[in-house]
Structure 1
Amino acid sequence: MPDTDPRAARPGEWASLAEVPSRLASVRAVESQQVPPFLAALTARHRDHLDRVATATQLVRLDQRSEVLAVVRAVPVTWDGTAAGAPAGGAGDGVDRATTAAEQGDADTLAVLDVTVAAAARGRGIGRGVLAELPRLAARLELSRLLVLVRPHGKRHHPLVPFARYVAATDASGRPRDGWLAACWEQGLHPVRPVDRSLRARAPVRDWEGWYGRSFPTSGPYLVPGAIKPAVIELERDEGRYREPHLWMAPVAALAQRHVEPATLRRPQDAWRRSLAAAGLVVHGRRHRERD
């Protein structure tokens, strides 16, 4: 299929799949490089759906050779700027809300569900550049608010640490220890709402064995490479289950409620944890709890 607007495919620029449909195969190739490998396989249905019905908000960053450097999966939704109003079900809920918003014609927010950087380009700060561009991309689509679903990628190295405790970990300056959370925070995104079951996936045991080249001798939780928490294998049901918690974040300007600003604190180092608490995620000693 030829590109509908060749000008949108100029090297080094952003374009939507509606403008450059010929890049779809490249998008799929970039997303297939995800870690863990089952993420691409188990979210394929949602991606296929978005490629059919929401091409205007499936965005690609092209390099100087017009190859896909980064992919932003996003949908237009309606959001009131409150924590309670953010999609409680994470990515799947965002896709469902986009359908409703399209039917009602009242979308006002660009909900970013996923950001993927091509494997060969990782480690060059491209993800931070994408984050900086998101407000402009939302404005380009005539959407006044921005909401970003954040997966703390570094947690794959600490899959047994509770999500709330990991997310709240900071360095001496108060900066989140997770690199992707830190990048979002430094770009002015604030925590809005934690989602315990943002990504939910089920597949037959044979699929899990194929993805990881190993057998599962008994039912129970298993640590699998790239996952941010254990997967659960149930041989009796011939099923492997996995669910990931994520964190919605947004610019302060998008929030309807007052939020924590570093300048208002006696200790600026406390800003991240205070912002998490305002979003309903609190850590107490060795225990943690997440509140909607």
Structure 2
Amino acid sequence: MTDPIQTFSLAQRPDLLSAYVNLDIPWPAFVEPTRLLVEWGLHAHADHQLIMLDGDTPIARAASLPLHWDGDPQTLPRRGWDGVIEQSAIDTYNGAELNTLCALEAGIDTGHTGRGLSQTVFTALRDHAREAGFEHFIAPVRPSGKTQYPEMPIEDYVQRRRDDGQRADNWLRIHERIGGRIIALSPTSMTITAPLETWTAWTGEPFTTTGLTTIPGGIAPVFVNTDLDYAVYIEPNVWVRHQLTDAPTTEGSRS
């Protein structure tokens, strides 16, 4: 009989901080861990950083930050993922009412992928948001399947569905399956800039021509400027809201 998967926050198990940080989550190289795991957040909001154990083995983590939000899709952080980090820091230090929990990552260690754990991990974070008394639970979702369609506008991509009516994108399908609803798009959710040498190290691409080019693992093109020896990647995400109560709410634009 296998041990059940247990979930702890870093506030409950600070001894697991190293294991949490060092899980091998399969992100593209250009999405660096320093961007995903906000150091101040690990300490300032350790109660909202979850780690999952299978027996004594760390297998997954869920990162999130609290902020203030009035529930209107029009007032979501304009810069999506990057904006959440900035607003959470400002709201925390200003003593604002932190009524919203925003998921930033639900990642499975590479040694434990293929077990259907993605839904389990995200559901655990949603349940944590409910138990912690948050009014809203949101996520700027990275539609991972868009790596196959990097040049497709995000507005068109989110409309794609399979023959059975479910969303074509795996992550958006998981969110919808457990009650998540798209309330807005975030065209500029994550911005990554670096010299071309760094981009080559990340992707193996030469970057010899100025203009837009696609990269392995990218869900949008990268703009390359050979004169400035720099490239900029601006990633779109999809704002998804999960209901924490049975009370009806007014959703934003759905697709």
How does the TM-score come out when normalised to structure 2? 0.88
Alpha-carbon distance in 2 for matches of 1:206, 1:188: 43
Structure with the bigger RCO (C-alpha within 8 Å, sep 6+) is 2
CA RMSD of aligned residues (A): 2.4
TM-fit CA distance, 1:184: 0.3
Larger deviation, residues 137-146 vs 10-19 = 10-19
1:108 has 2:89 as partner: no
Instruction: Tell me which structure has the larger Cα radius of gyration.
Output: 1
Deviation of 1:107 after TM superposition, in Å, equals 0.8
Contact kept? 1:159, 1:227, Cα under 8 Å: yes
Structure 2, unmatched stretches of 5+, are none
Aligned to 1:267: none
Name the structure 1 match of 2:17.
Answer: 24
Q: Equivalents in 1 of 2:251, 2:150: separation in Å? A: 30
> Could you say which residue in structure 2 is the equivalent of 1:226?
217
Q: Distance in 1 between matches of 2:44 and 2:229?
A: 33
Deviations 1:159-195 (A, max 9, x none): 1222111111012332111111011001000011110
8 Å CA contact 1:82, 1:192 repeated in 2 = no
SS at match of 1:43: helix
- Counterparts of 1:181-220 in structure 2 under 5 Å? 181-220=172-211
**Aligned equivalents of 1:190, 1:153: Cα separation in 2:** 17
> 1:251, 1:51 → 2: CA distance?
23
Alignment of 1:107-256 (within 5 A): 107-252=98-243
Q: 2:5 aligns with which of 12, 26, 29?
A: 12
Displacement of 1:252 after TM fit? 4.1
8 Å CA contact retained: 2:5, 2:52: yes
Supply the distance in 2 between the matched residues of 1:222 and 1:150 (Cα, whole angstroms): 23
Asked if 1:40 is matched to 2:19, the reply is no
2: distance between equivalents of 1:249 and 1:177? 16
Alpha carbons of 1:60 and 1:253: their partners in 2 closer, same or farther (altered >3 Å)? Answer: closer
Question: Partner residue of 1:88?
Answer: 78
Q: Distance in 1 between matches of 2:207 and 2:198?
A: 11
Matched pairs, number: 251
SS at the partner of 2:182? strand
TM-score (norm 1): 0.78
CA deviation string 1:72-115 (max 9, x = no partner): 11111112222113222111211122223322241111111221
Runs of at least 4 residues of structure 1 off by over 6 A?
A: none
Unaligned runs of 5+ in 1: 1-9, 261-273, 277-292
User: Which one is further off, 90-99 or 251-260?
Assistant: 251-260
Quote how far apart the aligned CAs of 1:226 are.
0.8
